Amino acid sequence: MKFNLRALLWTVGLFLVAATIFGIARFARQRDFYDFVVYRIAGERALHGEPLFRPDDGHYQFKYFPAFAVAAIPLALINQDTAIAAWFFLSFGLLVAFVRRSVRALPERRHGELALALLATLLLGRFYVRELIFGQDNVLFGLVLVLALTAVQGRRFVLAGALVAAAVFIKPNGAVLLPWVAVAGGITAVLASIAGIVAGLALPIIVYGWYGNLTLLSTWYTTVTSTTPENLLSLQNISLATMWAKWIGPGSAAAALAVVSGLWLLALVAWVWSARARVTEPDYLEVAMLMLLVPLLSPQSWDYVLLLGTPAVVCLVDRLPDVSLRWRVVIVAALLFTGFTFFDVVRRTMYYGIQRASLMTVAAMVLALGLAHLRARSLA
């Protein structure tokens, strides 16, 4: 086998970057990777057949499907410090794979793989770092969806449907991809998704029994719906529901406008789908658009969840030379605003003002419009 020095150097370099981030987060800033600890506690509770959803957990209540807790049982079998380190370095590896796969899946690329990967990392790097130091699972979620995309591109529709179903149990808002996999993969993918979802919903029966599992699912729904109002005005929340609540105050009017805005964005997605015959490989842009919209449509989404916009950023950057000057200015402005609006770059008071005005949400909507513009011009 031929020795690949370049691959070795990249591996060593990426490991050193990961080790540096982990060292600063774990020891210099004394971070405890709170979100990962939530997963581990849920795994411990599932291991012993205990209730998963407890109001006394406060802000760090477990809000995922019960199947996620069962899948997290292995995390409860090892020392917490070891588990944190393992999860961090695994997540870093998944992040590298996520960015790389997002670039490689783009059909008819105008630019090189490395250039696009570096630009995406530059524009979304602050979200990547926050994801890693919180111990979240959005990178895993994003990678699974990109793998579903590549499965459709390779006409492996059963695999695509199964992967979208798996994504739903990593993040419940992955359900927004179910209509797309039906459009792109047909009945084969639909049946695979249904089978995967049924299996995931039934998985906790092995620990909790039939009645216990039904109780958990009911408690999950209550937990998710009851904790939404308290997170609605959080500074880092970028959902449409939060945007309207910040603009006109929480209440029925804001909720109604959030629904209307969400339906408008979904109608835009539907139009993009209706125009898929204009391009030879339509799936990338459609998945990229849905992934970008996931944090906007979910009422409890923090700004770093915009890392799911990686495929969208890759697509927009790659096709940028092909659009008009006016659209180029709009897209670049939205990309720069999204990537560099944080208090280490702008003044802290300005950053807080931007967050209170939900301008990050507006920027993400502009990027979605940019993707729709590409489809209108049949560029992606």
3-state secondary structure the chain: CCCCHHHHHHHHHHHHHHHHHHHHHHHHCCCCCHHHHHHHHHHHHHHCCCCCCCHHHHHHCCCCCHHHHHHCHHHHHCCHHHHHHHHHHHHHHHHHHHHHHHHHCCCCCCCCHHHHHHHHHHHHHHHHHHHHHHCCCHHHHHHHHHHHHHHHHCCCHHHHHHHHHHHHHHCHHHHHHHHHHHHHHHHHHHHHHHHHHHHHHHCCHHHHHHHHHHHHHHHHHHHHHHHHHHHCCCCCECCHHHHHHHHHCCCHHHHHHHHHHHHHHHHHHHHHHHCHHHCCCCHHHHHHHHHHHHHHHCCCCEHHHHHHHHHHHHHHHHHHHHCCHHHHHHHHHHHHHHHHCCCCCCCHHHHHHHHHCCHHHHHHHHHHHHHHHHHHCCCC
Residues for the chain: how many in total?
A: 380
pLDDT score, position 34: 83
What tokens were used for 218? 């009911």
Which residues on neighbouring strands pair with residue 302, listed in sequence order? 237
Q: Give residue for tokens 């790389």.
A: 100
pLDDT score, position 46: 94
pLDDT score, position 335: 95
pLDDT score, position 355: 82
pLDDT score, position 116: 96
Instruction: Decide: 279 and 101 in contact? Cβ < 8 Å.
Output: no
Q: For residue 255, which amino acid is it?
A: A
Instruction: Tell which residue, 47, 27, 29, 31, has the closest CA to residue 39.
Output: 47
Instruction: Tell which residue, 267, 260, 359, 304, has the closest CA to residue 132.
Output: 304
**Cα-Cα-Cα-Cα dihedral of 236, 82, 71, 294, to 10°?**
20
pLDDT score, position 307: 96
pLDDT score, position 9: 80
Residue ranges of the chain with per-residue pLDDT less than 50: none
CA distances, 346 to each of 52, 125, 343 (Å): 40, 16, 5
Torsion angles phi and psi, residue 111, rounded to 5? -125, 165
Instruction: Decide: 160 and 183 in contact? Cβ < 8 Å.
Output: no
Instruction: Decide: 88 and 27 in contact? Cβ < 8 Å.
Output: no
Give the integer Cα–Cα distance in Å for 108 and 357: 38
Give the integer Cα–Cα distance in Å for 314 and 120: 6
Q: What is the pTM of this model?
A: 0.93
Instruction: Decide: 152 and 145 in contact? Cβ < 8 Å.
Output: no
pLDDT score, position 226: 78
